[in-house]
Amino acid sequence: PLRALIFDVDGTLAETEEAHRMAFNDSFDNAGLGWHWSREDYRRLLKTTGGKERIRAFLAESGKSDAGLDIAALHAAKTRRYVEILESGGLALREGVEALMVAARGAGMRLAIATTTSRPNVEALCRCCWGKPAAELFDVIAAGDEVATKKPAPDVYALALERLGLPAGEVLALEDSRNGVLSAQRAGIAVLVTPSVYTAGEDFAGAEIVASLAPGDLPSRIRDALSVGA
Ligand code: XBP
Ligand code: MG
């Protein structure tokens, strides 16, 4: 039986990556670094999950030195800026997310999060999209800053399972990226993937791909488990 849904955050609950990109660029400007990540740069850099890891990947690919650069402080400033951007509003849930959560609750399932981003950003998104704290919406939250290794490693999904107290076979992961799919699969969890603006066209081998999480787009076995019609 399906007892819980585990949601990825960035790209799955909402299209957050442009807000992340803006927060990176604003914090680079404020630090006087003279760096700017275009959409094209960001698509490539997104393959490295985690903001601090992404900054390091950028330094490596552009042959820049990290001497004198406090990556943790730069990334902390990026998180503060991201939270500010979300507080100014304008970010909506992706189609079908709210309906899926309501249906899952109605079917007695629990809801969890497994994300690469950090807890403050999850809180900011929940405030922005629901006007509620994350703990009122999700029973379990496993975030990137709580695990040793980020997606595509299984750690964050394994942590979500541990906190749910459920075996991998009784949950379903909802993802938008190849790294997320790999992370869930490596934790033994089946994945439903809804590609997002930055991840469309990635290789989602082994996962079931849906256009959106709206009831009409869900596989019939999931609709049956949730008792929702098309
Ligand atoms: C999302 C990410 C994150 C965000 C920024 O991956 O890769 O790095 O872009 O997060 P996923 P930070 O949706 O697979 O969890 O808070 O680390 O900057
Ligand atoms: Mg994602």
Here the CATH number for the domain that contains residue 42 is: 1.10.150.240
**Taking 80 as the threshold, does the pLDDT of residue 113 lie above it?**
yes
- State the Cα torsion 225-154-22-64 to the nearest 10°: -160
Same domain membership, residue 69 and residue 100: no
The Cβ of residue 28 has, within 10 Å, a number of other Cβ atoms equal to 19
Q: Which two tokens stand for residue 185?
A: 């699969």
Q: What is the pLDDT of residues 168-209, one digit of tens each?
A: 999 999 999 999 999 999 999 999 999 999 999 999 999 999
Of 71, 87, 103, which marks where a domain is finished?
87
Burial of residue 67 (CB within 10 Å: 0-12, 13-18, 19+) is exposed
The per-residue pLDDT for 90 is 85
- Same domain assignment for residues 101 and 29: no
Q: Are 159 and 186 in a shared domain?
A: yes
User: What distances in angstroms separate CA 220 from CA 4, 51, 223, one per listed residue?
Assistant: 17, 37, 5
Mutate to test the pocket of ligand 1, among 10, 150, 156 (most ligand atoms within 8 A of CB): 10
In this structure, the answer to whether residues 181 and 148 fall within a common structural domain is: yes
Residue 198 has what pLDDT?
A: 97
% of the chain beyond a pLDDT of 90: 95
Identify whether residues 118 and 54 lie together within a single domain: no
User: Domain end: 87, 105, 130, which one?
Assistant: 87
Q: 34: how many CB neighbours lie within 10 A of its CB?
A: 7
pLDDT over threshold 80, residue 230: no
Are 71 and 175 contained in the same domain? no
Q: Are residues 112 and 37 in the same domain?
A: no
HEC string of 10-79 equals ECCCECCHHHHHHHHHHHHHHCCCCCCCCHHHHHHHCCCCCHHHHHHHHHHHCCCCCCCCCHHHHHHHHH
**How confident is the model over 209-226, as pLDDT tens digits?**
999 999 999 999 999 999
Backbone angles phi, psi at 11, to 5 degrees: 90, -20
Q: What is the mean pLDDT of the chain?
A: 97
pLDDT value at 227 more than 90: no
Ligand 1 near 152 CB (within 6 A): no
Beta-carbon count within 10 A of 35 CB: 17
pLDDT score of 159 more than 90? yes
Edge-to-edge order in the sheet of strand 171-175: 140-142, 110-114, 4-7, 171-175, 190-193, 208-209
Note whether 9 and 77 are same-domain residues: no
pLDDT score for 101: 98
CA distance 216 to 178: 23
> Is 62's pLDDT higher than 90?
yes
Share of the chain above pLDDT 70, in %: 100
Distance 206 CA to ligand 2 centre (A): 17
* Residues 118 and 186 placed together within one structural domain of the fold: yes
Same domain, 52 and 164: no
137-155: per-residue pLDDT in tens? 999 999 999 999 999 999 9
The tens digit of pLDDT for each residue in 63-98 reads: 999 899 999 999 999 999 999 999 998 899 999 999
Strand partners, 125: none
pLDDT score for 218: 96
The residue range of the domain holding 183 is 4-15+92-226
* In the predicted structure, residue 228 carries a pLDDT above the cut 90: no
Of the listed ligands, the closest to the CA of 117 is 1
Domain count, the chain: 2
Whether residue 217 is found in the same domain as residue 119? yes
Do 98 and 82 lie in one domain? The reply is no
Cα atoms found within 13 Å of the Cα of residue 125, Cβ hemisphere only? 26
Best of 116, 118, 175, 179 for a ligand 1 pocket test (most atoms within 8 Å of beta carbon): 116
203: helix, strand or coil: coil
Q: List, by residue number, the catalytic residues.
A: 8, 10
Query: Does residue 229 register a pLDDT over 90?
Result: no
